[in-house]
Structure 1
Amino acid sequence: MGRAVKDSRIDTRDARLKQKISKEPYWRLISKGIHIGYYKGSKKAGMWHARVRTPDGKRYKKEVLGKADDYHEADGKTVLTFAQAQILAHKFAEKIFKHDDLHITIKNYTVKMAIDDYLKDFKAHGKKSLYSTDKQIEAHILPAFGDRLVSSLTYRQLDQWKNKLATSDKRSRTGKCQEQKYTPYDNNDPEYSRKRRATANRIITIFKAILNHAYKTEQAESNDAWIKLKPFKNVSAAKIRFLNTDEANRLLNACTSDFRLLVRGALLTGARYGELVSLKVSDYNLESNIIHIHQSKSGKPRHIPLNQEGINFFTQITTGRNNEEFLFTRNDSHKWGKSHQARPMLEACRIAKITPSISFHELRHTYASALAMKGVPLQVIAAVLGHTDTRITHKHYAHLMPSYIADVIRQHLPNFGSTEKTNVRKIKQKVVNE
């Protein structure tokens, strides 16, 4: 039986430079039966080696792969990074194992490959956040890990990357073909810091979904590197902004005629901007007084009941119109497009003296908050908003419900069987007017 080999830290330049000169390479297991080695001799730059156990399991075949990028930048040919050396090690193994007699898994599966496979599955399931997901991958995941093998990822690497995301400068919006600009990290602003950690959490969620898909489809032998990677805690508790009735009326009066219809529709339905501008006349059912959202952010349809004000409003704007017309259009008869709501909302807030100004999405919060403050159950609010469960609804709106905590305690706390009787009765204190 072969002697167990202890894995060595050779995946980073700093770790390799700390290794002592040795007659034998420092070996690290990268897949079953496959090792990558780092040989540190008297010369400055170390050398990458590969060794693969032969099909009979009795010996290793070895090969020199190239120089390590200890002092020079890698070129992918003669000077190699740890990830590039792993790819060559797997290619060397493929030459040896033309058959899978020993069921040895030869993985040459990079993070870029995992991303491509994940996005294919993402598109197949019709998920609506494809654009934003793709942008996050392109900006943050591919540059850091694209050429690395999934099998080479370590928890330490991922955790360091997570912390770097949370303290990096914020990417500013730039036009096409323009140089990317950044907002410097502000360490003195707690809210800015919270937002950066919340953004890091969203990126981590995407990356873990990619890696879990690779593991589920048996392209990764282990999920040890990322299963323990946890998001930052207590960073999603941003204060929900919503309008009171007076502010909502001022905002409506300050809007242009076409934008006013869109804002009123949001206040009466709680629908997202993208959902509203995709509505057609036929999506309002005059008999049931319900708005039909065909596909929400979760990918599922939902129905939004209307109150009397909503019934009057939608009846008025649909009467006499073709069923295939878009329900909300601009004054030039064109459809509202992506981000077309931003400037009209900013201008309406300025005129209505709503400071700081709100985003269109906060009309959705206004709708949900109004329901919560009237005591509407969270399950109902979650359903009408299209939330898949009540966790998000509870986080944002439960504190607005009158006596919510007290009602839950009284409903669920059991009777502990107290047998003591008392003749004490609660009496009302009289108020004496002097």
Structure 2
Amino acid sequence: MPRQRRSGFSSRSSREKLCASDAPEWELLSPGIRLGYRAGRGTRGQGGAWLAASRTAAGKRVQIRLGRADDVLSADGEAILTHEQAKEAARAWVKSLRSAPDAQPALTVGDALDRYLEAREAEGMKSGYDARSRAKAHILPNLGSLRVADLTLDRLRRWRDAMVKAPKLLRTSRLATKRNTRAVDISDEEALRRRRDTANRTLTLLKAALNWAHRNQLVEHDSAWRLLQPFHNTGAARVRFLDAAEQQRLLNASEGALRDLIAAALMTGARFGELARLTVRDFDRTNGTVFIERSKNGRARHVPLTAGGAALFERLAAGRASLDPLLRRDDGDPWKPAQYQRTFKAALERAKLESISLHELRHSYASAMVRNGAPLIVVAEALGHSGTRMAEKHYAHLAPSFVADTIRRTAPDLEVAASTVVLLARPAAARAGA
């Protein structure tokens, strides 16, 4: 189960620590329901107030005062409420708000995506920069305003197919008036495979949001997207990784904060988001580990470090407060998605390495372990996978195996010398006759 974030005002003692202010503190109870606590400047002797907030069918934010908190007087369940009673009152208020005759608007695809991602956050899961960016780029412009009830199999199929032929979106300045794009040559089999794989990933996100809406009884039927199948044979991309010499070349070609980020990725196998969220207290000097509190699948894990990895994090943590980020940019700010891409690409060019993504350093970490004899279950645990399926898919061919050893020992092993046959030119008469 994902870890639930503890409320900052669930107890009297925690509420006493809040600064007196007319601006309330808010807690997300579930998608669309927030509970607030306001410790007013002139009401300290009476206790704070409980509030609830939600949105109407038209999207307008509404707020209500539920009662006073049991900071001073004991709760009576009506005018004075405990934290749990306030939560129940907030849910009851939102339920009555939504049950009004005109409170059931037509759910759009954009609404379904927003509520689905909000629900994932409430459950302790990261919605992810990739999910929101993917929805903004590929789903919302074409389907966002459509009612879910109006979706048809044909409409969704045409949308899926159009993504394959659409120009590839490139990074664009915020000040630009036009989005940078690049035409895609779909006659190239690899380019076509990649575009279909992108379409499948986007379809998976859309289906997840629509299925969530169906399970939560926001829509009646799911046949339109349930019957739409993804493109087949699109997952055969070659997993790329750097060997030890290439890893060192990349480190030598980078500097400063980027070099620390690359080194941390190579010596932990962690994803960029996991690295960016690391704080000083996540580094355990005694045991030589880093603690990944929140990962893609919600599972926490401890990553043991080599001597080089421990030395890296020891240097990064030296003289820093426990809640400071371990990895920072050269200007001292925390890393954010996409901020490293330009300098990372330049480092690859200086090192004369093929273009890879920062995420593929994770593959380099795993492949090095497998080649050095680590069992796949250990590799899966280090990467934070729930099983060995992904490790077997990507790295099993690197591990010593009975099958590979037997083939190398028994298969034909011939020495093929360079050809010494010289092709003679054909006579002119023969060429003319031909």
Alignment TM class, shorter chain as reference: 0.5 to 0.7
Q: CA separation of 1:141/1:404 partners in 2, compared to 1, >3 Å: closer, same or farther?
A: farther
1:206 maps to what in 2?
Answer: 205
CA distance in 1, matches of 2:115, 2:331: 42
Q: CA separation of 1:235/1:404 partners in 2, compared to 1, >3 Å: closer, same or farther?
A: farther
1:262 maps to what in 2?
Answer: 261
1:159 maps to what in 2?
Answer: 157
Deviation, structure 1 residue 171: 1.8
CA distance in 2, matches of 1:314, 1:174: 34
1:393 maps to what in 2?
Answer: 391
1:290 maps to what in 2?
Answer: 289
CA distance in 2, matches of 1:110, 1:350: 45
User: Aligned with 2:290: secondary structure?
Assistant: strand
CA distance in 1, matches of 2:397, 2:349: 29
CA distance in 2, matches of 1:110, 1:351: 48
User: Aligned with 1:292: secondary structure?
Assistant: strand
CA distance in 1, matches of 2:206, 2:156: 10
CA distance in 2, matches of 1:187, 1:145: 24
Report if aligned partners of 1:198, 1:235 keep a CA contact under 8 Å in 2.
yes
1:122 maps to what in 2?
Answer: 120
Q: CA separation of 1:107/1:341 partners in 2, compared to 1, >3 Å: closer, same or farther?
A: closer
Structure ID, larger Rg: 1
CA distance in 2, matches of 1:219, 1:335: 39
1:44 maps to what in 2?
Answer: none
Deviation, structure 1 residue 320: 4.7
Counterpart amino acid of residue 275 in structure 1:
E
Q: CA separation of 1:209/1:333 partners in 2, compared to 1, >3 Å: closer, same or farther?
A: closer
Equivalent runs, 1:404-423 vs 2, <5 Å: none
Report if aligned partners of 2:117, 2:127 keep a CA contact under 8 Å in 1.
no
CA distance in 2, matches of 1:262, 1:404: 38
TM-score (norm 2): 0.63
Q: CA separation of 1:360/1:134 partners in 2, compared to 1, >3 Å: closer, same or farther?
A: closer
Equivalent runs, 1:27-176 vs 2, <5 Å: 108-176=106-174
Report if aligned partners of 1:114, 1:211 keep a CA contact under 8 Å in 2.
yes
Counterpart amino acid of residue 169 in structure 2:
R
Report if aligned partners of 1:266, 1:272 keep a CA contact under 8 Å in 2.
yes
**Percent of aligned positions with the same letter in both sequences?**
41
**Hey, which bits of structure 1, 4+ residues long, moved more than 4 A?**
404-407
CA distance in 1, matches of 2:142, 2:348: 40
Report if aligned partners of 1:127, 1:299 keep a CA contact under 8 Å in 2.
yes
User: Aligned with 1:288: secondary structure?
Assistant: coil
2:215 maps to what in 1?
Answer: 216
Q: Which moved more, 1:232-241 or 1:345-354?
A: 345-354
Q: CA separation of 1:323/1:341 partners in 2, compared to 1, >3 Å: closer, same or farther?
A: same
Counterpart amino acid of residue 118 in structure 1:
Y
User: Aligned with 2:339: secondary structure?
Assistant: coil
Gaps of 5+ in 1: 1-97, 100-105, 408-434
Deviation, structure 1 residue 370: 0.6
CA distance in 1, matches of 2:270, 2:366: 10
Deviation, structure 1 residue 291: 0.6
Deviation, structure 1 residue 196: 0.6
- Matched pairs, number: 303
Deviation by residue 1:149-177 (Cα, 9 ceiling, x = unmatched): 32332222222222222222212221224
Deviation, structure 1 residue 404: 7.0
1:194 maps to what in 2?
Answer: 193
Counterpart amino acid of residue 148 in structure 1:
L
Report if aligned partners of 1:107, 1:219 keep a CA contact under 8 Å in 2.
no
User: Aligned with 1:304: secondary structure?
Assistant: strand
Deviation, structure 1 residue 319: 4.4
TM-score (norm 1): 0.63
User: Aligned with 2:141: secondary structure?
Assistant: helix
CA RMSD of aligned residues (A): 2.7
Counterpart amino acid of residue 298 in structure 2:
G
Deviation by residue 1:51-85 (Cα, 9 ceiling, x = unmatched): xxxxxxxxxxxxxxxxxxxxxxxxxxxxxxxxxxx
Q: CA separation of 1:343/1:183 partners in 2, compared to 1, >3 Å: closer, same or farther?
A: closer
Q: Which moved more, 1:125-134 or 1:189-198?
A: 125-134
